[in-house]
Amino acid sequence: MMIDLNDKVALVTGAASAGGLGFATAKKMAEQGARIFLTDIDETSVLERAEDLQKMGFEARAMAHDVTDEAAWKDVMGSVINTYGKLDILVNNAGIAVLGMIKDITKADWDKQLKVNLDSVYLGCKAGLDQMSQQGNGGSIINLSSVAGLIGVPGTAAYAASKGGVRLFTKSIALEYAAENIRVNSVHPGMIWTDMQKVAIADNKEQYDLITAAIPMKRMGEPEDIGSMIAFLASDDAKYITGAEFVVDGGMVAQ
């Protein structure tokens, strides 16, 4: 199936890392015809990623953006509209993983985790829904949750709380906007080999082997596996899909 995103404008947050899910998603959507706006708290790198896409012949822009900052969302939305005139697709991808057993998680850790992974999705959806609603032509919002937003895993309590929050927040707002044809869905990656996993696992080969052994497909996923799912949900092929959750995990949570 060739997904068609021609004439669509997509905003992807947390897209600074060349090997991350945000950039893989942006590239996939660009290949299918979308015009791309990338943001990240890491300004230098996100500007480089926009150049990467431009060099591939795609239309892409980027700007610095802290997703926890409400005023920054206004600026970003204004820039997207100034640049492309509209917004059709919003991918709330930026996130961090504050891992550790509950006894070691301080209140400051907890607050930071929820702010970056959950408050940000609230702010982004509010800004995106408002814009799409004004346009009156529907739209698609995809929020990055995780398998950790579906099942319990020791050492992920704060992260799981943020991602579980994203899951049900997504369903609630999907219902609020279904009649306007603005679709909101969550994507739940399993173990995908990005900087986030590289930092969590570091050079611990033993842990890497333990993790991959627990995955039915016996390997971690690639960022493109998530990009393909998001591009599909962004497209009109997914026009009857809203308030739903999509697991991309090599079979992990089927066990």
Binding residues for ligand NAD (CB under 6 A)? 13-14, 16-17, 20-22, 40-42, 65-68, 93-97, 116, 144, 146, 189, 191-192, 194-197
**Strand stretches in the chain, DSSP E:** 9-12, 35-40, 60-64, 89-92, 139-144, 182-189, 245-248
What's the closest the beta carbon of residue 39 comes to ligand NAD, in angstroms? Answer: 7
Going by the DSSP 8-state scheme, the letter that residue 218 receives in this structure is S
Q: Find residue 40's DSSP bridge partners.
A: 64
What's the closest the beta carbon of residue 19 comes to ligand NAD, in angstroms? Answer: 7
What's the closest the beta carbon of residue 196 comes to ligand NAD, in angstroms? Answer: 3
Query: Among residues 159, 177, 208, 240, which one is catalytic?
Result: 159
What's the closest the beta carbon of residue 227 comes to ligand NAD, in angstroms? Answer: 10
Query: Is 240 a catalytic site residue?
Result: no
Give the nearest residue (CB) to ligand NAD: 95
Main-chain dihedrals φ then ψ at residue 10, nearest 5 degrees: -125, 135
Single-letter code of the amino acid located at 152: G
Beta strand pairing call for 89-92 and 60-64: unpaired
Q: Which residues of 151-161 are buried (b: 16+ CB within 10 A; e: fewer)?
A: eeeeebbbbbb
3-state helix, strand and coil shares in percent for the chain, rounded to the nearest 5? 50, 15, 35
Q: Which residues are catalytic?
A: 159
